[in-house]
Amino acid sequence: MAFYSNVPKRQPWLPLPPWARSMGITLLSVSITMLGLLFVTFLIGRVMPIDPVLAVVGERASEEQYNAVYQELGLDRSLIVQFFYYVGDVLQGDFGKSLLTARPVSQDIARVFPATFELATIGIIFGCVLGIPLGVIAAVRRGSWVDQIARVVALVGYSMPIFWLGLMGLLLFYGMLGWVGGPGRQGIFYEDMIPSVTGMILVDSIIAGDWGAFWDAFSHIVLPASILGYYSLAYISRMTRSFMLEQLSAEYITTARVKGMSEWAVVMHHAFKNIRVQLITVIALSYANLLEGSVLTEIIFSWPGIGNYITTALLSADMNAVLGGTVVVGLVFIVLNVFSDLLYKVFDPRSK
């Protein structure tokens, strides 16, 4: 007994600080999610009924040409080896070349993504600025005419087809009233006049100091952004109303009112403060859906964004462009989820 008691005990591993553990868990989660995304896109590229070799060489190519391109693309390797090569290329930003543009897909995405980013950003701002107050007022005035209007707005936003709304918007505000610009990002007069710095026309026109180009670009983006923003408004207002109703029925709200606090303080400093973390998730998901789901809007308004790019590539069997765009859209979802997790820790210290 004495002999063993003199043996020095092995020191346990030093515990990591909470921020290090949280960062490690986040990085591991992002890595696994990204690997799963790459695996899914890799399988999609292999199960699609499109021969990538014929898409390159054409149907009239000889057998020697076909075999040469087959080996050049690495299709003679096993699927596991192909997948690891695919992951390595993607991590280097190499998505291959587009058959339509004959340029690297990464360059095409860098060219078209700012247009979608600009459109979706204005749309989500529109949805938040109008949707959150509408949801709060509807919850506070439950059963009133404001509440009924908010519910109708959300119902119409969920049920109305976006392509029909876009066509009617173009017919009314552009064709009949002439209040907004037509399809495209700019008019013919201002096209290619602004040096591209960020790829976002509004920002680039401000940098260039050309206010005529700015207002022309704004007249073109306001209608498609408002249509996208209306759909995010419907979702955000509905969820805000639901969150607020849950908080306003809680006991601590009754206690605050009994203590004589003003209704404004009860609603904003207590109820709304406790739904901010939930709203972060709602807004992040809405923003990601606008970045990814603006395909029909971009097609109707001839908006040269990533949704239009992926659709055109899919119709032309340009699988490199389709898969590259899909990976970028998935990466956007991952980044927004990580960003929302970081905001959790800012607004809710208990999540640290």
For residue 118, what pLDDT is reported?
92
In a 10 Å sphere around its CB, with 0-12 CB exposed, 13-18 middle and 19+ buried, how is residue 288 labelled?
buried
The percent of residues in the chain predicted with pLDDT above 70, rounded, is 88
For residue 6, what pLDDT is reported?
56
What does the pLDDT average to over 278-288? 87
The percent of residues in the chain predicted with pLDDT above 90, rounded, is 12
For residue 125, is pLDDT > 90?
yes
CB 108, CB 306: distance < 8 Å: no
- Domains, the chain, with CATH or none: 18-91 (no CATH), 107-351 (1.10.3720.10)
For residue 8, is pLDDT > 70?
no
Tokens of 338: 């990580």
* Per-chain mean pLDDT for the chain: 82
What does the pLDDT average to over 221-226? 92
Q: Which of 4, 105, 76, 83 is nearest to 37 (CA)?
A: 83
Residue labelled with tokens 């640290």: 352
For residue 265, is pLDDT > 60?
yes
Per-residue buried b or exposed e for 111-143, using 16+ beta carbons within 10 Å of the residue's own CB: bbbbbbbbbbbbbbebbbebbbebbbbbbbeee
Q: What is the pTM for the complete model shown? A: 0.81
pLDDT (tens digit per residue) in 231-241: 889 889 989 99
What does the pLDDT average to over 107-116? 91
pLDDT (tens digit per residue) in 295-323: 888 888 888 888 888 888 888 777 788 88
CB 47, CB 41: distance < 8 Å: no
CA distances from 248 to 141, 272, 317 (A): 11, 9, 53
For residue 5, is pLDDT > 60?
no
> What sign has the CA pseudo-torsion 314, 320, 324, 327?
positive
Cα-Cα-Cα-Cα torsion 241, 246, 250, 253, nearest 10 degrees, comes to -10
**What is the residue-wise DSSP string for 243-294?**
HHHHHHTSHHHHHHHHTT--HHIIIIIIIGGGGHHHHHHHHHHHHHHHHHS-
